[in-house]
Amino acid sequence: MSPKIQIKRQTDRVLERIIHGSLFVFAAAMPFSIALTQIAIGCAIICWFGRLFYTRSQKFRPIGMEIPFLLFIAAALLSLPFSSNIAQSAIFFKRHLLVLVFYVVAQQTGSDRLAKKLVWIFIAALALYSLLGILSFLQNPELRVRHIQNSMTAGGLTMIGSLTALALLITASDRKSRFFFALAFALNAICLILTSTRGSWLGFIVGAVVVIYSTNRKLLLVLPVLAALLILLQPESLAHRTRHMFDPTWRTNAKRISWWKTGWEIYKDHPIVGIGDVSTQRMYEYYTGPDIQESVGHFHNNYVHIAVTLGTVGLVAFLNLIGFLYYRLLGAYRRLATKTGILSGWPLAGMAVCFAFAVNGLFEWNFGDQEIVTALYFVCALALALSTIAYETDADHGTLEHHYPASRS
């Protein structure tokens, strides 16, 4: 073996260890520090590129999401020349780099052992995040939980934490795991309640329906109990938000309706490629006139905001992205449904989180929230990675008659 090949092999082993360590830090830091999360995933991406282009120990493996991602990125590029602020659109374009999070997690999680470690770290991190949120509320019970980020981001993260823990709890095969996931679910669910983020509540309920319907439909009877607990366990200091949840005249509800109406007017004038991926404050002020009382940089709704900024082209591409992602996760779950524990529970968690994200996005611009999108991509990419691992394991054992590779479903 030549010295050059030896060096490359040694380098590749080092790069692999760095990637794994970076992914561990990434999974642990996700709810707490966007800076540390970015550093960790950035390190993993650089090392992944090193394995692709320097040591050449790996090849890029399609995972079946390439066309939906590329179509959405193409929609953003198409809107760029027509943007109301081309410089800002060019800066905002960097948000699409988060796609690399999806791919580095999906392609560098090469064993179910590594995947399980990432799952346990992620669940533990969100449980700790929720515990800190509960403690912060006890110190100041007049405020919604906003201990690290704002209440809406906290609501989105605890929604994801609750659903992943619930899916793993229902599919867990041993007592120790069930206890851990039950504790994680309880902490996340309590903190979710204390964020008083109603859109995240609805997202959780829909995601819980996906989990329970897919595993034990008799447990659907528990859902009204969970919904009642969301209301009954709401502290009195925050209960006014629940009482007005469906009141269109209540202040925050009325604001959203007003924002969406203005968004519709902007969309009608820019229906094809929108006004560009920009902060909507200036355009909102232009359409509402000089008597405006409050300006908005986004429309608190994924679909309205993307329709305004990227037009019909962008909205169709976004809906295709979310729909196809769910389709891929459904295929992963069906492939692993006969497994036990994390192998079947995590793809189910991915399905639930994807659905919950879509519902939560009716009331919040969560696709523009980096913490939420990073967590979404992590959960979904890890589910697809587990599906690929299962396929390759079955191929090694010659049991592929009921299985198909991840990139072909």
* Token pair 């909507």: residue: 280
- For 341, left (φ over 0), alpha (ψ -120 to 50), or beta? left
Is 381 exposed, middle or buried (CB count within 10 Å of its CB: 0-12, 13-18, 19+)? Answer: buried
Cβ atoms of residues 256 and 210 within 8 Å:
no
Half-sphere exposure of 64 (CA within 13 A, CB side): 24
Radius of gyration (C-alpha) of the chain in whole angstroms: 22
Residue 191 burial class via C-beta count within 10 angstroms: exposed 0-12, middle 13-18, buried 19 and up: buried
Q: Tell me, what's the pLDDT at 400?
A: 42
Structure tokens at 312: 């019909």
Return the pLDDT at 406: 38
Secondary structure (3-state) at 54: coil
Stretches in the chain below the pLDDT threshold 50: 399-409
Please check whether residue 383 is in contact with residue 406, taking contact to mean a CB–CB distance below 8 angstroms.
no
Rounded to whole angstroms, the Cα distance separating 403 from 122 reads 28
d(CA 127, CA 161): 7
**Phi then psi for 33, rounded to 5 degrees?**
-145, 115
| pTM score, whole prediction | 0.93
Q: Is the dihedral of CA 15, 17, 23, 28 positive or negative?
A: negative
What φ, ψ does residue 167 adopt, rounded to 5°? Answer: -60, -40
Both tokens of residue 196? 């008083």
- Give the tens place of pLDDT for each residue, 318-340: 999 999 999 999 999 998 888 87
- Tell the burial category of 324 from Cβ atoms under 10 Å away from its Cβ (0-12, 13-18, 19+): middle
Helix axes 342-360, 112-139, angle to 10 degrees: 50
Q: What is the pLDDT of residue 407?
A: 35
- Residue 46 has what pLDDT? 97
